[in-house]
A and B are shown apart, each in its own frame.
Chain A
Amino acid sequence: MESLLRKAVAQSGADFVEARWDEAAWSRVAFQRDQLMALEQSAEAGGIVRALSGGAWGVASFTKAEDIEEAAKNAIRLAKIGARHVKEPEGIAEVPVEEARHQAELEHDFREVPLERKRELAERYNKLILGVSPDIVSTSVRYTDLLRRSTYANSEGAFIYQELPDVTLLLAAVARKNGDVQQAFESIGEAGGYEIAQDHEAKAEEAAQRAVQLLSAEPVKGGTYTVILDPELAGVFIHEAFGHICEADFLFRNAHMRKVMEIGRTFGVEELNVVEDGYIPGKRGNVPYDDEGVRRRKIHLIKNGILNELMHSRATAAKMGMQPTGNARAVSWEHAPIVRMRNTYIEPGSARFEDMLKGIDRGIYAKAAFGGQTQFEQFTFSAAYAYEIQRGEVGPMVRDVVLTGNVFHILKNIDMIGDDFTLQGGSGGCGKGGQFPLPVTDGAPHVRVNQVTIGGR
């Protein structure tokens, strides 16, 4: 494939051409209650060519390796069509021309584990969950492993081969009583071997017990609260509410938004530091090189409370006069890269959890995340479960906790940052521009926030 790729990007007629061929091989086992919904070991391959001509991009995706030259010609043709309409041409920032090969680091290579062992593992977790209580009516237990082998070349001479492993496990329980249905889950995702999915029996039981507990939990009362976010939820918060607006592709051509997200602007307390890192051993968001062949950089989005740097592709960096950061990622060969997160986290601070509770008369301790969504300054994310805080103490469990607000306000309302820390990937992923699920990790310590709006009755 190397010579086909190198030949394709050498086509004339464009200012820049890049081509990527991805081979993916995966296993998947999924149980719902007693039904084996999926059991497979599949493999596929596909490619994409992107060309820049006259400041517009042309892109062509394909599934037959021998079509690559045709795809390159097509991408160049489409870029030229686009170029006739562009008002402000895009360019690409200069980067070192890289030649690299990156092999996966797998402690226990999941390709060597027979499919039946993977089935047995998932089935054991599934049975554990079902056995916890008669109120457990269903489950969703899913194991996946994936090795993406990506080969990239561009017309500047870059050539990158990298292997990106990803293992996920979802342990979800559904409880039902008197017509009410509640669910709880534990979710794991790491860039590693089969060991990632093993030995989670305790988590399976925890998920089942929590689903049952949620049946008797009251829905939260809507209103404005002081909220303590656990590390998992705080991680989702920093990803959803803040990370997405630091992706330069949504603002690099938008003068209004650039002003809102001006480097040097104060966003939070001095203790607030937010990091975006392309490589932390074993983490799901790892991309040694991004899908434009750019070597990763570790950046501080927020340093000492001040907006420090944004995430860039080569095009956004060129327009804004910045250095690319290695954040141009594509979820698969079907897509061109866009600016995405990798491993995103709030650095630990100095507050102890007990001290965070002090002084909260009526608050919410929100734990784990169902998901989140952001629309520029407005965001929403939902806790998987939560507890009331009454007079400085953690009280009864509550459910249906969905937090919302304006990110600029809420970052300023963070008043305490914990001295603990968890960085983890889940079994899902991040979605943007039709590209889902992209492996990422989020992390944080416990974080306390004032004045958070929570929906409810």
Chain B
Amino acid sequence: MDIVKRAAERAEAAEAYREKRTGTAVAFNAGDLEQVKAEDIVGHALRIIQEGRLGFASTTGAKADGLVEAALLSAQHGNPAPFGFAGTAAADPVPVCHDATTRLPAEELIGWCEEAVREIERAFPEVIANAGAERGSIDVEVKTSAGLARHEERSYLSMGVEAQWVREGDIYTVSASQSVRTVDELDRHRLIEDVLRELDWGREVVPAITGTPPVLLLPSAMIVVLLPLFVGFSGMSVVLGTSPLKDRLGEQVFDPRITLWDDGRLPLGPRSTSFDDEGVPTTRLALAKKGVATSFFHDLRSAALAQQEPTGNGQKSGLMGGGFRSPPSPGPRNIVLEPGTGTLDDLLAEMGDGLIVADVLGLGQGNIASGSFSNNVGVGFVVRGGKVVGRVKNTMIAGNAYDVLKSGVQALGGEPEWVYGVLHVPPMLAGGVHVVAQ
């Protein structure tokens, strides 16, 4: 008998979540194959409402009995449930699965990694190249005692490529990665080209331009100014009063060129799903239109507390993982920043003298709720007269994401890219970023 039925016999309402993960990952070390791993995992979570109180528990495998007891214990000492479980409204399917991708043989993933290592080491014989890839599927089922029964299989495929250039007194590391739903979308050559370009740009170490030069954030570095918005636009942060955007819907909070979507329904988007981890249909939500804040994203709890509709953003797996063990909380889907115009070269020409940031260290370690950032430039380049002249070291960028997006936007590029498996963003030329170097 299934868990939700068992729970419903003992509680007023129940919501059961089941996640089955099957996948294969290949890992290289210093360019040589090290490990092939397979996983076959089932995780369960159960929420119940009993005497009006909310209870939660999770487990693995097939121990349903213990799970119901644990959720009842939790509810016994819990608080009144501020929300009810999802209704049975239709959830239109979004394409998120490609069968052939879930079955790609390990040999094929190994072959791609070997090819990447070979290509990079051929162009730069002195570097140590490395690669890794994984594929598989996550099969999710959400059922409630009110009759909701949703099920979806989602495929995933990701590949990362890295190169390390060690010289006396200098270690230079560049990397590129891609997370997609189908094998057709994976652009392996793009990954290799990105790494080769950054190796080429970084042959020489040059002094950074300090002060507040124009800073070109490549798509891979846009997370620096967008990560604080994951907190700012979260319905829960708004409810708790920790979001700087609280009470500011309808206000011009960003530059008019900033139009930002949280799109849970983008076909084959890396974080698209037909329904969220609470069974609520996902949505395509405008967070900001022409710089005006328009909506926040919600799960069931934050929506109920804010007296808003849920937006299908209830997630058990945040960007930092979590999975079936975590109670849901509001999280972003695919964050899409509408592009401007022009190529990377156009942006470089416009910038004249400045700093390109491709990768940073220390993401999310500061006070991101306030929007402030302060990061070591892991991979960054000096531009003089629109041309890259070399790479920086021991350099930091600092500023406030809200200030940069409000008054520091100089240009948005016309060529968006997927990064971190969550952002689809163009490069941005920005002012108001403080650069210091040793």
Contact = CB atoms under 8 A, between A and B. Distances in A.
Chain A partners chain B? yes
Contact of A40 (B33, B74, B244): B74
Interface in A408-457: 408, 434, 436, 451, 453-457
Interface residues of A, number: 89
Interface in A71-119: 71, 74-75, 78-79, 81-82, 85-88, 90, 115-116, 119
A378 B378 contact: yes
A81 B396 contact: no
Nearest to B34: A57
Contacts of A455: 374-376, 396-398, 434, 436
A334 B42 CA distance: 11
Q: Which of A90, A176, A400, A402 has the most CB of B within 10 A?
A: A402
A88 B61 CA distance: 38
B173 interface: yes
Contacts of A137: 240-242
B376 A378 contact: yes
A372 B362 contact: yes
Interface in A316-372: 334, 336, 370-372
A1 B61 CA distance: 15
B242 A181 contact: yes
B366 A402 contact: yes
B123 interface: no
B59 interface: yes
A381 B434 contact: no
Contact of B436 (A222, A372, A400): A222
Interface string B100-135: 000000110010001000000000000010000000
Contact of A380 (B41, B63, B107, B362): B362
Contact of B365 (A85, A87, A373, A405): A373
B57 A336 contact: no
Nearest to A62: B40
Contacts of A223: 436
Contact of B398 (A32, A44, A183, A400): A400
B61 A46 contact: yes
A57 B35 contact: yes
Contacts of B88: none
Contact of B70 (A41, A65, A174, A260): A41
B34 A90 contact: yes
B350 interface: no
B394 A406 contact: yes
B60 A37 contact: no
Given A138-B240, A456-B374, A78 B327 contact: no
> Which A-B residue pairs are the 10 nearest by beta carbons?
A455-B396, A256-B166, A222-B436, A380-B362, A253-B30, A402-B374, A455-B374, A59-B37, A137-B241, A380-B376
Given A85-B110, A400-B374, 13 more contacts: A35-B82, A46-B61, A62-B39, A78-B36, A82-B36, A137-B241, A174-B240, A253-B29, A334-B39, A375-B361, A453-B438, A455-B436, A456-B434
23 contacts: A32-B240, A39-B56, A41-B73, A42-B57, A42-B70, A79-B36, A81-B36, A82-B35, A174-B241, A176-B241, A257-B166, A336-B35, A370-B367, A375-B378, A378-B394, A380-B361, A380-B362, A400-B372, A402-B375, A402-B398, A406-B393, A434-B321, A456-B398
